[in-house]
Chain A
């Protein structure tokens, strides 16, 4: 079914993106900016995030609140990390799993109060996740609310992100550690949730402000204006993808999906099997015993060519062994990189494979991931 322009959902910042001359595209039912030609486009936006700071409208993402005396029990039941380790003000990367140990979605769990959790989820899975959380929290004394439309979410990412945001908030950001969050004034808007999280592999923040158009535009423009001295650029989904790929961060329906399990995706460290029970745990235990049949590896093209999503991966004899989940030029590394599922015997760094590009096998090799890791400051 074709989504016509009229039926695409729009974020509160949509008029701002259009005013800025952004190239708009459809993404999971949303009309979103893919790049801003006046910023210089994807490569310039990508480099701004790696060397200065970039702004992203990520309001299309979803927000589910789970609150009540048994909220923790519900969250622990449906997700694979250990939310009991969270202090109020702390967040963790996690995932909602199906009983088969495969992914409903990946999620960032924020403990916003004693018995109060905010799950930030992907754009394309808003309804699916909300229904899943509601159905599977039924046995727990808690309330599940879909707050997705309540927030405009802006990501401020890059080495200069802290300086930029600090200039516009009363919160002392130097005390806000990675994967912690707080509330404060941002550009005169009160009680803004400020989280030190992101999807770029850089330091940065995601702020959650009221989703009315006026407030959203005001904060966005203020960030851009104050950001000028730090080389701040508005960034679209194009740069968002190249940044997260370099940092080896998963994208739903690519590295993770309802047919891929936690071990295959290499997300072991976020899956706390020592916990007695959560949806998917039994299947994961069984899968662990059976051993990996495929694993996610990083590839770098050796011969000329760009590996892209869905391209087949073959061994040196031409036998099909896997496929590319995400592939693209890497603006920072200036090489063509990809993530791919291959059998475990090909996982060793230096292994050679061929990526089928328009009917031709093009040589690539397995490289360590993440492809990019920011310098610790």
Chain B
């Protein structure tokens, strides 16, 4: 599956897309494949602060719990309510199943994130272990 070129990526397998001062984020296809069937997502409420590099929630497969790490800092403006009843949407299309939208504190934080090409390379190396 190609990684959208208008997204930025992290080594924790999150994607983020900024439009103006608002960024939408989720986890990548590689992440959902590794997790397997997703059964539970814990997300912050609108108004909550998220900090780049810190956890903002968790995602659970049948077997395990994983932390979600914020690719950038900001305030949560919207939460995808579908994921509380249908978390499997992330498995079906991880790049469409957005988790939260945030009002970015510093859009400049995105410049240090990985491009689609860099992320693909990173994932190819991970998969070879």
Contact = CB atoms under 8 A, between A and B. Distances in A.
Interface of A: 23, 34-35, 37, 41-43, 238, 241-242, 304-306, 308, 328-329, 331, 358
Nearest to B88: A43
A37 B36 contact: yes
Given A43-B62, A306-B39, 15 more contacts: A34-B63, A41-B36, A41-B37, A42-B37, A238-B62, A238-B63, A241-B63, A304-B40, A304-B84, A306-B60, A308-B65, A328-B62, A329-B40, A331-B62, A358-B42
Contacts of A329: 39-40, 62
B82 interface: no
Contacts of B37: 41-43
Nearest to B58: A358
Contact of B40 (A23, A35, A241, A306): A306
B33 interface: yes
Interface in B20-74: 33, 36-37, 39-40, 42, 58, 60-63, 65
What is the interface residue range for chain B against chain A?
Answer: 10 to 19
B36 A35 contact: yes
Determine which residue in B37, B42, B65 has the highest number of CB atoms from chain A within 10 A of its CB, and name it: B37
Contacts of B33: 37
B91 to A, nearest CB: 9
Contacts of A241: 63
Interchain residue pairs A-B with the least CB separation, the first 7 = A329-B39, A42-B62, A43-B37, A41-B36, A41-B37, A238-B63, A306-B40
14 contacts: A23-B36, A35-B36, A37-B36, A41-B36, A42-B37, A42-B61, A42-B62, A238-B36, A306-B40, A306-B65, A328-B63, A329-B39, A329-B62, A358-B58
Interface string B79-108: 000001000000000000000000000000
A242 B61 CA distance: 12
A42 B91 CA distance: 13
